Amino acid sequence: MPFSSPRILLGLSALTLLLFHVSDVTASLFSVHKRSPKVVGFDFKKQVPRNTPLANRLRKRQKTVAANIDNEQIAYLINMTVGTPGQPFSVQLDTGSSDIWIPSTESDACREDEQACQTLGQYDSSASSSYVDVGVGQFQISYEDGSAVTGDYINETLAIGNTVIKRQTVGLAFEATRPFGVMGIGYVADESIAATNPNGLYQNVVAQMKDQGFISTLAYSLWLNDLNSLTGSILFGGVDTAKYHGNLVVLPVQTTNGSYTDFTVALSSVSVLDCSGAVQFSQTNLALPVILDSGTTDAYLPDSVVNPILGGVGVINDKDYGAIVSCDLANSPATLSFSFGGNGGPTISVGLGEFVTPVYDEEGNQPTFKDGDTICSWGLMSSGTGPILFGDAFLRSAYVVYDLTNNQIGMAQTNFNTTDTNVVEISGSSIPGASITASAVMASQTFSGIPQETNAATKTGTTQATVAHGSPTFNLCVSQTGNAKKGAASAVGPPRIEITSVTTGLVLLLSLAFGSSVVLLRW
């Protein structure tokens, strides 16, 4: 298993501490400018604090519908209903798995955290006239973070806004280590049942959208927006050309043991650039297989690549708080540059601050180093002996098109915080407006993991660490400010739950699990 830094939970449950903000949220709307008959839109909302282990490594082991998304600095949730009449849920969007699952009212997770399940959704089979149990005890899935879910397969009516999908196969969890579900939107071949019954594969939610006529092809695009943004969007069946800069370059998805199961592309080089653009670190000709996974919070690279970066940035690996840095680094104009596919491939620039996020103790306070600098979490770590993953810390800076029909990925530099939109349907054998590049040959993954620091910070009753923060060796152009002392940008307290829509796609009315509604457009 890859190195996974420990997280400090926010007392009670990390969810419950933040759920008090939910009733205050509302959704907003903006106009769209182009008609696209088969691009469908849904609303996402950001909701889970970074300190929960839930989204730190949500990736299944071994293995144009438009939706708006909100950034909780850890997970991206989509609203839907299940059953007849519909029972509301907020579930995590995950490109790294392929099953939808939801917790049952009878699940151990909902018995242990009743408030979270009441807020995020729990399924009562006796309250639905469309419930059909098609696989008693057959649903089993486990994730890289060590969590596991077991239960039944059911067929149910699933509605995301006005998009109503009939006879959708859903995992109904009776035993789960987390109080809310997942919407996996990966390849059908990566469904959890493949491990025990390869002939039992079913049409997952993306395939059902195509089969039932909502989109023309198995494809979607993801725009997470920046770390401090409240909103982002996903388009099933379409591309929004206003959401990225430069060229949208296509890379072939790489196979695993001859099959398409993950969104793996070839990483060619990694560089660190200071505020003047001078190279502080660079490794080229890497040919590394990187999985693009929205269900993972951070990014993970091999030791040989990431350890020089950790030292250059001044990361300390702490037994209580994980990989930590001074929150001052959030103000650095330095960037990390990632190139894919060899010559002609896309290069994505990620601001250093995208990897710097707040840390909280059990009381919801931000701990400090001995010198008073606020501790933040660092989101680029060693993959250890596990897969190389690029999660949300990277994906926020990339506009990514996932084309499951043609087994290709389109990638471009994201256009942060734009309210413009220009949606184009994906209807043929290519991604609209994209160019093609050959992919580099991939290398195998054999890595030992990041070493544990012996001189790390430790918790005290005053949430002050007993050691000073690390000393960066890169020129990061960091200047301490009063705001930096308080933590990463807009992070002076636990992240609030907020919902704001960035709307594209057909007209959909969402009844949110938190009592507000969102209108999405059809054009």
DSSP-derived 3-state class of residue 178? coil
Which candidate in 70, 94, 262, 318 is catalytic?
94
CA 382/CA 483 separation, integer angstroms = 29
141, exposed or middle or buried, with CB in 10 Å at 0-12, 13-18, 19+? Answer: buried
CA 95/CA 262 separation, integer angstroms = 8
Which candidate in 293, 320, 328, 403 is catalytic?
293
The residue among 364, 365, 282, 369 whose CA lies nearest residue 318 is 369
Residues 6+ apart with CB under 8 A from 487: 327, 330, 358, 366, 374, 376
Residues 6+ apart with CB under 8 A from 406: 219, 429, 430
CA 307/CA 449 separation, integer angstroms = 10
Residues 6+ apart with CB under 8 A from 461: none
CA 176/CA 428 separation, integer angstroms = 40
Cα–Cα separations (whole angstroms), residue 377 to 15, 130, 324 = 19, 45, 4
CA 362/CA 310 separation, integer angstroms = 26
Cα–Cα separations (whole angstroms), residue 91 to 68, 160, 258, 338 = 13, 11, 31, 30
Q: State the first-to-last Cα distance of the chain, in angstroms, to the nearest integer.
A: 46
Residue 293 falls in the annotated catalytic set: yes
CB 161 within 8 A of CB 42: yes
Residue 94 falls in the annotated catalytic set: yes
List, by residue number, the catalytic residues.
94, 293
